């Protein structure tokens, strides 16, 4: 007998049912009792109770998608920076309040239990967090979607600060198990590596390529259910873990090679062992290429298996059913892999396979930094993926002969530039070019960035395919980045504009009508104040530093990179400190500068900047002469769960990259949404934020993109600014003294050197004066509470555009052509 499908209504739990379920799981799943359970056990029991709901809805979603045979998006990303899932899943299932009450009756605080959860830090920064926001929005909007990535055993390193310096420690997010993941042994894949290619006669008499792998690796899928807001759709994030393939082990083992087989096993497991901690540059390491191929090949096999279950070997519907998004170039090898499967394994002709392939793929670019554009040496490619290199050569030959030559006859310079292969002392495969050639759409992540992708990065490709290049401005999920992290502001908005805003963030615009309203301003600022007071406690607990919630909380949280210019913030704080030392009555509202940032372990200057911030903090925070007007805090181990505490407490949002370098930024959106005022350059999404909020509600400073280009073209000389500005000169000269590192002069000199002898590639000195002026403006605004409240309210209320649901809707309309699927 067919069981009747359960509706959302049937599934909804009440408080007593949830409470009973938690207690039942505490006993029967966790094997403990109310009397002796640890907070961790209570957290896991709560997750298990929530999972009863999640799994029902997951099964229902999968059955519906299968029955309706829907077109789906497959989001391939080497990184998913998910953070914690408990509060998010409770909110999205409308169970948060109920759970709070249920646990309350058991004598527990839900917020305390949530603190038990380790962050799922399977990403470096913006790119990985964007992927996490996007899969939330896809599920929320009921789009059939699968996220594919790597099940890293160790995510981004845990940062400790010892004597001011960053120390990297392994992240152990699943040491004691993770209740949100499900292993799926039934969907294990096996993927080849190394070896050689043989040409043989195929069944039809034609030539055929056979790749004889040197090794095989097993890919074990772990599924993380992705619960959409409202709980209708539950999609999956499928992360691949590498294991030694049995096929391989046993041969060696039986030949008496127990030790060798263990070494092979360890090697195979190395592939998904650890996330590379570089957020902009790629080390060009063999293991990294293998990681990329490993997860792409497993994902393509998985996509194939599901397609063939519905359509057999008829590939005429493949491009209509399957869309694959490449999150930056990291999954590019999926393109030649799909070609290999279609041509070598499914026996399609090259032309038929290519016609499918480029229609399936689209590529998102996240950076213009030349050093960040991935290139792999041809010899490495040949060793690890010999068949793929052949396929890449063929794609390249066809592209150059059929498209480039007719458009630019005889122009070898253009051919050299557009070729997938870079000729030189070391021949290289350019993954960016392969992506553009193998995709139907290429998008940047903010208006200005997409314009630069088209005009500066890929101008010839844009001339060849003007329709291919497009923009999708980034967004963030308002469920995590307002509803869950700022419950008091969320409640205020519920009262004022109703409860639809988490789905339709544009609704917040109605709040602008209260921007001048004294009583609303007071409520708004009281919430900000309360969030700041909560952060004061966190700062004290994490760093021992006392700060006052009276002060302006000025926050810069992002990966450490010269182009993001934490050094600009640093030298400005030093300038303020000098002003205060010179004149203790220097007129400024007390300010707390808060940093959160990890440096790539091999990025020496970035680590020196962290050290300098910490040394400055020690000096400033303990200097009685400045009467507490200035405090500097470096929060160790910046991560998603810490961002959720910092962002609601921010008064000022530092978005100060050199114009033209930050593709978009997403922290800028989160902070403005929570009522912070941006001090920022006209870079990335800052431009669109200022458009939405009104330029008068942001402190915009510095050179714009054209001015940066013009200054660089003229020949930028940082010494011009050093000698022209005595304050700037004094601050830079301070780095050579032992003022911040008593007895150890010169410890901070590398920063000064990079800004002078190093040529200051990111124009820090050129923007210093303008940045300092913008800070003075911020100070004046803050001292007028009504003016500040008005600006803060307008910022928060006008961020509707930056809902990741809107980004996803743009992808759907401009790139993916998907239909929402009603789950019933
Ligand atoms: C990670 C690994 C490598 Cl090898 C290269 C880059 C990265 C990475 O994390 N990049 C990244 O985070 N880029 C950022 O993407 C965001 C989302 O689009 C943008 O907002 C941000 O501007 C950009 O820097």
Question: Mapping DSSP to helix (H, G, I), strand (E, B) and coil, where does residue 807 land?
Answer: helix
pLDDT at 762 over 60: yes
pLDDT digits 0-9 by tens, 498-550:
999 999 999 999 999 999 999 999 999 999 999 999 999 999 999 999 999 99
- Annotated catalytic residue 559: yes
User: pLDDT of 642-679, one tens digit each?
Assistant: 999 999 999 999 999 999 999 999 999 999 999 999 99
- C-alpha 123 – ligand 1 centre gap (Å): 10
- Give the confidence band of 2 by pLDDT, cuts at 50, 70, 90: very low
Sign of CA dihedral 434, 440, 445, 449: positive
Given 25, 232, 375, 670, which residue is catalytic?
Answer: 670
Calpha distance 408→401 (Å, rounded): 10
Task: Using DSSP, state whether 198 is helix, strand or coil.
Answer: strand
Instruction: Indicate if the pLDDT at residue 249 is higher than 60.
Output: no
Residue 60 has pLDDT above 60, yes or no: yes
- Stretch 746-768: mean pLDDT, rounded? 98
- Which residues sit opposite 680 in a β-bridge? 655, 700
| Domains (range + CATH), the chain | 7-68+85-118 (no CATH), 69-84+119-150+167-473+809-816 (3.40.50.2000), 532-797 (3.40.50.2000)
| Model confidence pLDDT, tens digit, residues 109-118 | 999 999 999 9
DSSP 404: I
Among residues 158, 243, 366, 607, the one annotated as catalytic is 366
Rounded Cα–Cα distance for residues 349 and 208 (Å): 11
pLDDT digits (tens, 9 = 90+) for 8-35: 667 788 999 999 999 999 999 999 999 9
Question: Which DSSP state fits 725?
Answer: -
Q: Please, how many CA atoms are within 13 Å of residue 54, restricted to the half-sphere of its CB?
A: 26
Q: How far apart are the first and last CA of the chain?
A: 20
Q: Which of 152, 147, 119 has the alpha carbon at shortest distance from 133?
A: 147
Q: Please, what's the b/e burial string for 566-595 (b: 16 or more CB within 10 A of its CB; e: otherwise)?
A: bbbbbbbbbbbbebbeeeeeeebebbbbbb
**Rounded CA separation 338/350 (Å):** 11
What atom in ligand 1 is closest to the CA of residue 449? 22
The answer, yes or no, to whether residue 202 has pLDDT greater than 90, is no
Write down the ipTM of this complex.
0.99
Could you tell me if the CB of 472 is within 6 A of ligand 1? no
The residue whose CA is least distant from atom 11 of ligand 1 is: 127
Give the pLDDT score at 349. 97
Considering only CA atoms, which residue is closest to atom 21 of ligand 1?
665
Whether the per-residue pLDDT at 260 is higher than 80: the answer is no
pLDDT computed for residue 254 by the predictor: 66
Please state the atom number of ligand 1 nearest to the C-alpha of residue 364. 18
* Among the ranges given (75-79, 201-205, 435-439), the one the predictor scored with the smallest mean pLDDT: 201-205
Task: Give per-residue pLDDT as tens, 439-498.
Answer: 999 999 999 999 999 999 999 999 999 999 999 999 999 999 999 999 999 999 999 999
What pLDDT does residue 361 have? 98
Residue range 251-261: average pLDDT?
A: 68
User: Across residues 81-103, what is the average pLDDT?
Assistant: 98
Count CB neighbours of 69 within 10 A: 13
664 lines ligand 1 (CB under 6 A): yes
Atom 15 in ligand 1: residue holding the nearest Cα: 127
Element of type H or E holding 646: helix 640-646
Residue to mutate, 78, 123, 127, 445, ligand 1, most ligand atoms under 8 Å from C-beta = 127
Q: How far is the CA of 280 from the centre of ligand 1 (A)?
A: 7
**In the chain, pLDDT over 70 holds for what percent of residues?**
97
| Sequence-ordered list of residues with C-beta below 8 angstroms from that of 444, at least 6 positions apart, any chain | 364, 365, 450, 451, 452, 453, 454, 471, 472, 663
Compute, in angstroms, the gap from residue 57 CA to the centroid of ligand 1: 32
Q: Which one is catalytic: 559, 572, 591, 598?
A: 559
| Catalytic annotation present for 454 | no
Q: Is the pLDDT of residue 7 over 80?
A: no
The response to whether residue 683 sits with its C-beta less than 6 Å from ligand 1 reads no
> Helix (H, G, I), strand (E, B), or coil: what is residue 442?
strand
Ligand 1 contacts CB of residue 474 (under 6 A): yes
Cα–Cα distance for residue pair 799/805, rounded to 1 Å: 13
Q: Which atom of ligand 1 is closest in space to residue 372's alpha carbon?
A: 5
Ligand 1 contacts CB of residue 372 (under 6 A): yes
Active site residue 666: yes
Q: Which residues lie below 8 Å from residue 777, measured CB to CB, with a gap of 6+?
A: 699
The residue whose two tokens read 């007719």 is 406
Number of neighbouring beta carbons within 10 Å of residue 207: 8
Task: Say how many C-beta atoms besides its own lie within 10 A of residue 247's C-beta.
Answer: 10
DSSP labels for 597-631? Answer: ----TT-HHHHHHHHHHHHHHHHHHT-GGGTTSEE
- Chain CA centroid to CA 495, Å: 32
Residue 25, token pair as written in the block: 């799981």
Catalytic (active site) residue 499: no
In whole angstroms, what is the distance from residue 312 CA to residue 537 CA?
60
What is residue 702's three-state secondary structure?
Answer: coil
Q: Is the pLDDT of residue 251 over 70?
A: no
**pLDDT reading at 248 higher than 70:** no
DSSP assigned state of 683: -
For the cut 90, the answer to whether the pLDDT of residue 620 exceeds it is: yes
Give the closest residue (by CA) to ligand 1 atom 13: 127
Give the distance (Å) from ligand 1 centre to CA of residue 368.
Answer: 10
H or E, element range at 276: none
The pLDDT confidence band at residue 252, using thresholds 50, 70 and 90, is low
User: What are the tens digits of pLDDT across the range 318-361?
Assistant: 999 999 999 999 999 999 999 999 999 999 999 999 999 999 99
Cα dihedral sign for 289, 290, 295, 299?
A: positive
Percent of the chain topping pLDDT 90: 93
What are the angstrom distances between the C-alpha of 175 and each of 168, 172, 333, 398, 528?
A: 18, 5, 31, 49, 36
Tell me if 126 CB under 6 Å of ligand 1.
yes
Beta bridge partners of 469: 442
Asked whether the beta carbons of 669 and 688 are under 8 A apart, the reply is no
Distances 157 to 26, 117, 161, 274, 596 between C-alpha atoms, Å:
31, 16, 13, 9, 14
Q: Atom 20 (ligand 1): residue with closest C-alpha?
A: 665
Ligand 1 and 278: CB distance under 6 A = yes
- Catalytic residue, from 558, 565, 579, 631: name it: 558
Using CA atoms, how far residue 252 sits from 242, 245, 248, 249, 393, in Å, is 19, 12, 7, 6, 35
Q: What is the pLDDT of residues 547-583, one digit of tens each?
A: 999 999 999 999 999 999 999 999 999 999 999 999 9
Ligand 1 atom index nearest CA of 474: 18
Identify whether 60 is a catalytic site residue: no
State the distance from the centre of ligand 1 to the C-alpha of 232, rounded, in angstroms: 31
Q: Check pocket membership of 688 for ligand 1, CB cut-off 6 A.
A: no
Q: What is the mean pLDDT of the chain?
A: 96
Q: Which residues pair with 81 in a beta bridge?
A: 121
Mean pLDDT of 134-163: 98
Tell whether ligand 1 has an atom less than 6 A from the beta carbon of residue 280.
yes
396 CA from centroid of ligand 1 (Å)? 27
Sign of CA dihedral 34, 37, 39, 43: negative
Q: CA-CA distance, 534 to 712, in Å (whole number)?
A: 44
The closest-lying atom of ligand 1 relative to the alpha carbon of residue 445 is: 18
210: which residues sit within 8 A by CB, 6+ positions away? 197, 198, 199, 200, 344
How many Cβ atoms sit within 10 Å of the Cβ of residue 450? 21
Active site residue 564: yes
Task: Evaluate: CB of 666 within 6 angstroms of ligand 1.
Answer: yes
pTM for this prediction: 0.97
Q: Which of 666, 678, 741, 764 is catalytic?
A: 666
Q: Is 130 in the pocket of ligand 1 (CB under 6 A)?
A: yes
Please indicate whether residue 256 or residue 155 has the higher confidence score (pLDDT). 155
pLDDT at 1: 43
- In sequence order, the 6+-apart residues with CB closer than 8 A to the CB of 599 are 166, 559, 560, 606, 607, 609, 610
pLDDT, average across residues 236-261: 77
When pLDDT is averaged across residues 387-416 and rounded to a whole number, the result is 98
């Amino acid at each position: 007998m067919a069981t009747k499908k359960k509706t959302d209504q049937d599934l909804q739990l009440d408080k007593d049912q949830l409470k009973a379920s938690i207690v039942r799981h505490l006993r029967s799943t966790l094997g403990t009792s109310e009397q002796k359970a640890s907070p961790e056990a209570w957290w896991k029991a709560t997750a298990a109770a929530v999972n009863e709901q999640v799994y029902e809805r997951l099964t229902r979603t999968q059955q519906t998608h299968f029955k309706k045979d829907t077109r789906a998006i497959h989001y391939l990303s080497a990184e998913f920076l998910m953070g914690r899932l408990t509060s998010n899943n409770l909110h999205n299932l409308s169970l948060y309040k109920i759970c709070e009450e249920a646990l309350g009756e058991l004598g527990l605080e839900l917020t305390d239990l949530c603190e038990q959860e380790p962050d799922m830090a399977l990403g470096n920064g913006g790119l990985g967090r964007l992927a996490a926001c996007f899969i939330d929005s896809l599920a929320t909007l009921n789009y059939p979607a699968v996220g594919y990535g790597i099940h890293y055993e160790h995510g981004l390193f845990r940062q400790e600060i010892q004597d001011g310096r960053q120390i990297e420690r392994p992240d152990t997010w699943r040491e004691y198990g993770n209740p949100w993941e499900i292993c799926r042994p039934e969907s294990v894949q096996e993927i080849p590596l190394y070896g050689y290619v043989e040409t043989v006669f195929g069944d039809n008499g034609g030539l055929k390529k056979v790749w004889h792998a040197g090794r095989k690796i097993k890919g074990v899928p772990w599924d993380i259910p992705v619960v959409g807001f409202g709980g209708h759709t539950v999609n999956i994030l499928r992360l691949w873990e590498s294991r030694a393939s049995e096929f391989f082990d046993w041969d060696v083992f039986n030949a008496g090679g127990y030790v060798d087989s263990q070494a092979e096993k360890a090697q195979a497991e190395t592939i998904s062992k650890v996330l590379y901690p570089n957020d902009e540059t790629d080390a060009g390491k063999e293991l990294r290429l293998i990681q990329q191929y490993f997860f792409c090949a497993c994902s393509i096999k998985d996509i194939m298996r599901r397609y063939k279950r519905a359509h057999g070997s008829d590939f005429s519907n493949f491009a209509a059913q399957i869309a694959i998004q490449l999150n930056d170039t990291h999954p590019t090898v999926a393109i030649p892999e799909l070609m290999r499967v279609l041509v070598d394994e499914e026996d399609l002709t090259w032309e038929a396979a290519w016609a499918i392939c480029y229609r399936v793929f689209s590529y998102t670019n996240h950076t213009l930094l030349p050093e960040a554009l991935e290139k792999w040496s041809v010899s490495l490619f040949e060793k690890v993926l010999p068949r793929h290199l052949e396929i890449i050569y063929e794609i390249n030959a066809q592209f150059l002969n059929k498209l480039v030559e007719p458009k630019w006859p005889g122009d070898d310079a253009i051919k050299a530039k557009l070729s997938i292969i870079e000729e030189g002392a070391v021949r290289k495969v350019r993954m960016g070019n392969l992506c553009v050639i193998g995709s139907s759409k290429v998008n940047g992540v903010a208006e200005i960035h997409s314009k630069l992708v088209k005009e500066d990065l890929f101008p010839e490709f844009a001339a060849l395919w003007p329709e291919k290049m497009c923009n999708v401005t980034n967004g963030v999920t308002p469920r995590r980045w307002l509803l869950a992290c700022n419950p008091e502001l969320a409640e205020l908005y519920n009262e004022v504009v109703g409860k639809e805003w988490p789905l339709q963030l544009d609704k917040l615009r109605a709040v602008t009508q209260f921007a001048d309203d004294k009583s609303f301003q007071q409520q708004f600022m009281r919430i900000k104040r309360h969030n700041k007071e909560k952060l004061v406690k966190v700062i004290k607990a994490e760093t021992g530093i006392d700060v006052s919630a009276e002060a302006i909380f000025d926050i810069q949280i992002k990966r450490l990179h010269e182009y993001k210019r934490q050094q600009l913030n640093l030298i400005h704080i030093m300038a303020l400190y000098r002003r205060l030392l010179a004149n203790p009555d220097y007129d400024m509202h007390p300010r707390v500068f808060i940093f959160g940032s990890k440096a790539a372990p091999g990025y020496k200057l970035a680590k020196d900047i962290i050290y300098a911030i910490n040394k400055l903090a020690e000096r400033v925070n303990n200097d009685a002469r400045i009467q507490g007007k200035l405090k500097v805090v470096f929060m160790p181990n910046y991560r998603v769960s810490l961002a959720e505490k910092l962002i609601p407490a921010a008064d000022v949002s530092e978005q100060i990259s050199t114009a033209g370098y930050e593709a978009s930024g997403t922290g800028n959106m989160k902070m403005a949404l929570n009522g912070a005022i941006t001090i920022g350059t006209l870079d990335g999404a800052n431009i669109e934020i200022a458009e939405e909020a009104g330029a008068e509600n942001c402190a915009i400073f510095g050179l714009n993109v054209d001015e940066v280009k013009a200054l660089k073209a003229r020949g930028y000389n940082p010494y011009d600014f050093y000698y022209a500005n005595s304050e700037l000169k004094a601050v830079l000269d301070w780095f050579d003294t032992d003022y911040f590192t008593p007895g150890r002069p010169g410890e901070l000199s590398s920063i000064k050197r990079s800004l002078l002898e190093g040529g200051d590639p990111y124009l820090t000195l050129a923007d210093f004066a303008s940045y300092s002026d913008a800070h003075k403006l911020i100070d004046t605004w803050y001292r007028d509470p009504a003016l500040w409240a008005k600006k803060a309210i307008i910022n928060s209320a006008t961020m509707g555009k930056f809902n990741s649901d809107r980004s996803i809707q743009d992808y759907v309309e401009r790139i993916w052509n998907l239909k929402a699927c009603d789950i019933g």
